[in-house]
Structure 1
């Protein structure tokens, strides 16, 4: 399980060092092999251990591709999916098209999401976080799925 919010840096070549607490599960689950793709609902990237991605990829491919919205989703998520491997120092080299999509520069935020990690530019993360806090104020109406949770 990937948890927590961690602030990290990316160098000028597009390399980022995966924090040790995230590196260990990636090595144990997939020998450091990951797939990174775009999130179609936010300007961030999503990092999956390879076995988790293979499960998700199969589910995406089984969607009805004749529906235009499904086809657009498949084209983006599968099209941007990139196989990467942690190097000996626990670093990933992010391809330029992925960096461009998520507007990544030096300061990044890695956000644990259970089975995956999200990678955000720090500025976009703060903006998204602040908006989410505003939208979930006391007057906000929660979906039924959230109302059924016991925290």
Structure 2
């Protein structure tokens, strides 16, 4: 995909995952990955526990860059060790079947509270998979209004 977000100079790969899609989850725990995301995710990708009760999905090249950054965190810091454990222990390789579905393992479905409906969103260099209920709660959070977030981003120079 063409785009300006998610560029990784180390690999020369450019990702631009954008958009919001809703899909059901079948009885086996499989969910369709939107066709617009499939090519950039590749044949094999990494799914892990994300923040805010969602799942993060990374193309392998992006995961390797993130892995290097996480490996550089100081082992002597308790919070760094805890975050690395959380992130890596929940990680698994994913791949798409012929229908464009990925099997979400039980522990990841439990973490993200996925039951029957999912929202798949593009977030620049990664894809996030949300329970529809959790996504709706997240979007109704008054502390996360678009205006208040924009004000905070302005403070960071964005």
What is the distance in 1 between the residues matched to 2:147 and 2:60?
Answer: 37
The one-character-per-residue Cα deviations of 1:89-146 (angstroms, maximum 9, x if unpaired) are: 21101100000000001110011101001110001101101115764447x852412x
1:37 match: 48
Where 1:8 maps in the other structure, the secondary structure is: strand
1:49 match: 59
Cα distance, 1:58–1:134 mapped onto 2, change above 3 Å: closer
Structure 1 length normalisation: TM-score? 0.86
Q: Give 1:5 shift.
A: 0.8
Q: Which residue, out of 18, 22, 47, partners 2:37?
A: 22
- Alignment of 1:10 onto 2:25: yes
Extract unaligned runs of 5+ from structure 1: none
Q: Which residue, out of 101, 110, 116, partners 1:91?
A: 101
Structure 2 length normalisation: TM-score? 0.82
The one-character-per-residue Cα deviations of 1:22-68 (angstroms, maximum 9, x if unpaired) are: 11322xxx3x21100112x3111000011111110111111102100
What is the correspondence of 1:50-89 to structure 2 with a 5 Å cutoff?
50-89=60-99
Where 2:88 maps in the other structure, the secondary structure is: helix
Q: Give the ranges of 4+ consecutive aligned residues of structure 1 lying more than 3 Å apart after TM superposition.
A: 132-138
Extract unaligned runs of 5+ from structure 2: 1-15
Where 1:89 maps in the other structure, the secondary structure is: coil
1:118 match: 128
